[in-house]
Structure 1
Amino acid sequence: MVRPIAIDLFAGAGGMSLGFEQAGFDVRAAVELDPIHCAVHEYNFPQTPVLCKSVAEVTGDEIRQIAQTQNVDVVFGGPPCQGFSLMGKRLLDDPRNTLVFHFLRLVSELQPKYFVMENVKGMAVGKHKGGIDAIIEKFDACGYTVVTPYCVLNAAHYGVPQYRERLFLLGHRGDVPPPVYPQPQTRPANRTPTPKHLRSLPPSPTVAEALQDLPEIEQYEELLRGDSVEAEFGEPSEYGAILRGLAIEPEDYSDRRQYDRRRLTGSWRTRHNATSVDRFNNTKPGQVEPVSRFLRLDPNGICNTLRAGTPSSRGAFTSPRPIHPTFPRCITVREAARLHSYPDWFRFHATKWHGFRQIGNSVPPRLARAVAKEIMEVLEATPHKSDRVLRLTDSPLLTQPMTDAARHYGVSHHVIAPRLLKGRRKKEA
């Protein structure tokens, strides 16, 4: 059986790629500007060719060539959205927002049956709604209809233990039926998530269920010098067993990954000073530590929105990370990945700044899968697993600095924020 074909624009580390793969799509090509992200995507999706360049410089014919197909079922992606973000200034004339229209151009050139465009909730707020109206009009002129009313979806409604709202635009070609937005998923529970403003949400796995089987990193000195170690895992929850690959999830049609389940990855420890440790210890679960403004996670609740932090062009700062519910420290990259619904085989760059940025910039795979399932259904395709088994082992793709990653893809290492690259190399040391 042939799996429907998808193309990922603005791929990042691959959260949407994974969600669509889990729904039963073959992601035949990915486009991403940042060589560090490209390397991580290549590692996790060795079956998917990565085009390391700006979508502004990519053509539909180029994508068809690397994807080895003329017919595309769905194009998806999340154009950079800083100009529309609710965090800080929202500038309609932000040059980064022009990439939205390159997304539109590539949809027009590739002529997929469907497209999915993901972005920040801020695009649907206030004066920025005019921007969405303009985008919808341009899609209409290209023969595509956007399903209205468009929706802001919360990852917590789709089995992700995190409060994360994102705008989704679903569009279809004029000769195919429209898709629908996924309905929230629920499961029985007698708890309420925290903080208070989350209490109207259907129950998701809790923070405790997401993290309970992960080894205590404090027990491993090796994690002060690197991001992985062979470790003893605990008893997982149902959610944790799925992410560890110990339980089969019936609706997951992704390729099987073969990896070392004994290794804890993405867990480079952070050295907090004694004052910070005391403040974290004195912060109750569900409350915000008053100096750092970090939220201490409630084990019986869900995580607050995990954010990416600033790119190197704006100082390369890591976004505030939540405090672990049990230990007086910030969470690790692997713990953030669990709270984002990434399986344990999925690896991120070993440098913490890169790892958290890759998670914070990505769509939680379970949320992407919920959207992809609706596209699969309207295609009237029967999802099935392929026979591929992808073997994942340690790789320099996960540790190389920007200069080496850029060399790997034959692009300039100045492609990302040349004026602050020197500062980033210091952080990568």
Structure 2
Amino acid sequence: MVQSTSKRRLVALDLFAGVGGLSLGFEQAGFDVLAAVEYDPVHAAVHKYNFPMTEVICRDVKNLSGADVRQAAHRGWRLHHPSGPAWDGAVDVVIGGPSCQGFSTMGRRDQDDERNDLLLEFVRIVVEIRPRAFCLENVPGLLQERYTPIREKALDSLRDAGYKITGFDRPVSAADFGVPQNRKRVVILGALEADVPPLKPSSMPVTVADSFARLPDASDSPELMTMDSVGRDTFPISPWNHADSLYARRMTGDEVDPEDRSRRRNWDSSLLTNSRLSAHTSESIRRFELTPQGAVEPVSRFYRLSLSGQSRTLRAGTGRERGAFTSPRPLHPVRHRVITVREAARLHSFPDWFRFHITSWHGHRQIGNSVPPLLARAAGKSIAKALHASPTRARSVLNFGDESLLSMSMAEAAQLFSANPSEMPAQRTRK
């Protein structure tokens, strides 16, 4: 039986961390993420910016052992507790979303895709570290019959290690957990000899209009054609965007979310960040003008968001090793352009203090590859309940890492982390 936990902060380790959607959600649920593993140096750098007390390991999980991750967690504990007691080594949860393109219903669903094996690498690390619980996120395609052998191999290994598992029977929709996006995912949870309760849905759906409220319209700032950030006070909220919502007030930090147990960030709320605009031809703009909300523009196949509904799934596109192709971005519901990275972040439930790489290509990929934090928070709350934990709200205010982490090239970020070239994504190529 899982022992009761005091009101201390719980301890989490994040594998396949990206920029930290799972990390943020679990931090909001009362966990301290001591270590995060991410093989892409650019994503690892952005993770380090937003989570400066987390020890970020820029390595390929396949080449790491559980002992390697645990050793990094000791360093992360010291970052969280510079003058406190030594860590006892107990890990409450290992979380992660292994690369899922091989299982994706939007891709080729390749049974032989080498990325499918990353599911087993996640399981290997869990079994080696033996945390009290785990959280595994993936695409609904994982549940298809063709993937039964690899899925059952993973689940059997976890059961043999003593974990009672839930969530492998059907996907959940992020929209049911307060995310303004119809993003379906499989969230598999397990705990040692304890039942993990199902994720608790949100009481009220959030619309695109709710998510964009209080967000200045980047179209009103010509400077954002060449810049990533501008002062919010340089242009007013657009007439179409005067709606208010609880969701938006919490994204801006104007209203405290009583369910959010994360550390407050010391951020400059006067800046509108990650809002560089995309250039469109006059012909594209003409076609966008003719596309009503909730419809698909027939040439580009771009979908226009509906203010009264939720976004479709925000997709990441392919990485450098797969040709670096960009997925179609949604069209703004009112303006005749694709959405900015900050607008995508609102649709994904990232608060406005969270920063992404300054380029649109990296920024949109980082969001599309992330678990929506509010969905991750729901998973974290279920894990905490299974562990009989009542984690406290973090009291300290956290300063970010160096802002240069947000603009690093692959080479610069690789040098920062002393990344092994053989473990990094392949160079970006186009044909």
Query: Which AA in structure 2 matches 1:44?
Result: N
- 1:225–1:149: structure 2 CA closer, same or farther, 3 Å change rule? closer
Whether 1:270 and 2:278 are equivalent positions in the alignment is: yes
Q: Which residue of 2 aligns with 1:134?
A: 153
What TM-score results when the alignment is normalised by the length of structure 2? 0.90
Q: Write the distance in 2 (CA, Å) between the matches of 1:226 and 1:413.
A: 31
Q: Which residue of 2 aligns with 1:181?
A: 198
1:91 to 91, 104, 110: 110
1:398 to 394, 400, 406: 406
- 1:393–1:379: structure 2 CA closer, same or farther, 3 Å change rule? closer
In structure 2, stretches of 5+ residues that fail to align are: 1-6, 75-86
1:278-357 correspondence to structure 2 within 5 Å: 278-357=286-365
Q: Write the distance in 1 (CA, Å) between the matches of 2:18 and 2:186.
A: 17
Contact 1:18 1:365 in 2 (8 A): yes
Contact 1:312 1:416 in 2 (8 A): no
Q: Which residue of 1 aligns with 2:128?
A: 109
Q: Which residue of 2 aligns with 1:18?
A: 24
Q: Which residue of 2 aligns with 1:67?
A: 73
Q: Which residue of 2 aligns with 1:385?
A: 393
Displacement, 1:283?
0.4
Structure ranking higher on relative contact order (CA contacts 8 Å, 6+ apart): 2
1:161-310 correspondence to structure 2 within 5 Å: 161-174=180-193, 177-187=194-204, 204-232=205-233, 234=237, 236-310=244-318
Q: Write the distance in 1 (CA, Å) between the matches of 2:426 and 2:157.
A: 33
Q: Write the distance in 2 (CA, Å) between the matches of 1:37 and 1:218.
A: 27
Q: Write the distance in 1 (CA, Å) between the matches of 2:206 and 2:191.
A: 33
Displacement, 1:162?
0.3
Q: Write the distance in 2 (CA, Å) between the matches of 1:273 and 1:370.
A: 42
Query: Which AA in structure 1 matches 2:371?
Result: V
Q: Which residue of 1 aligns with 2:8?
A: 2
Displacement, 1:130?
3.5
Q: Which residue of 2 aligns with 1:193?
A: none
Contact 1:151 1:169 in 2 (8 A): no
Displacement, 1:413?
5.1
Whether 1:147 and 2:170 are equivalent positions in the alignment is: no
Q: Is the partner of 2:102 in helix, strand or coil? A: helix
Question: What is the root-mean-square deviation of aligned Cα atoms in Å?
Answer: 1.7
In structure 1, stretches of 5+ residues that fail to align are: 188-203, 425-429
Displacement, 1:140?
2.0
Query: Which AA in structure 2 matches 1:50?
Result: V
Contact 2:9 2:31 in 1 (8 A): yes
Q: Which residue of 1 aligns with 2:77?
A: none
Q: Write the distance in 2 (CA, Å) between the matches of 1:148 and 1:339.
A: 24
Q: Write the distance in 2 (CA, Å) between the matches of 1:149 and 1:124.
A: 7
Displacement, 1:393?
7.3
Query: Which AA in structure 2 matches 1:153?
Result: V
Displacement, 1:247?
0.4
Structure 1, 144-153 or 313-322: larger mean CA deviation: 144-153
Q: Which residue of 1 aligns with 2:142?
A: 123
2:179 to 160, 179, 190: 160
Displacement, 1:263?
0.3
Displacement, 1:215?
1.3
Displacement, 1:390?
1.1
| Superposition misfits of 4+ residues, deviation over 6 angstroms | none
2:368 to 354, 360, 367: 360
Displacement, 1:148?
6.0
Contact 2:189 2:383 in 1 (8 A): no
Displacement, 1:412?
4.0
Q: Which residue of 1 aligns with 2:38?
A: 32
1:192-225 CA-partner distances (Å, limit 9, x unpaired): xxxxxxxxxxxx2110111132112122222111
- 1:6–1:419: structure 2 CA closer, same or farther, 3 Å change rule? closer
Q: Which residue of 2 aligns with 1:54?
A: 60
Contact 1:123 1:131 in 2 (8 A): no
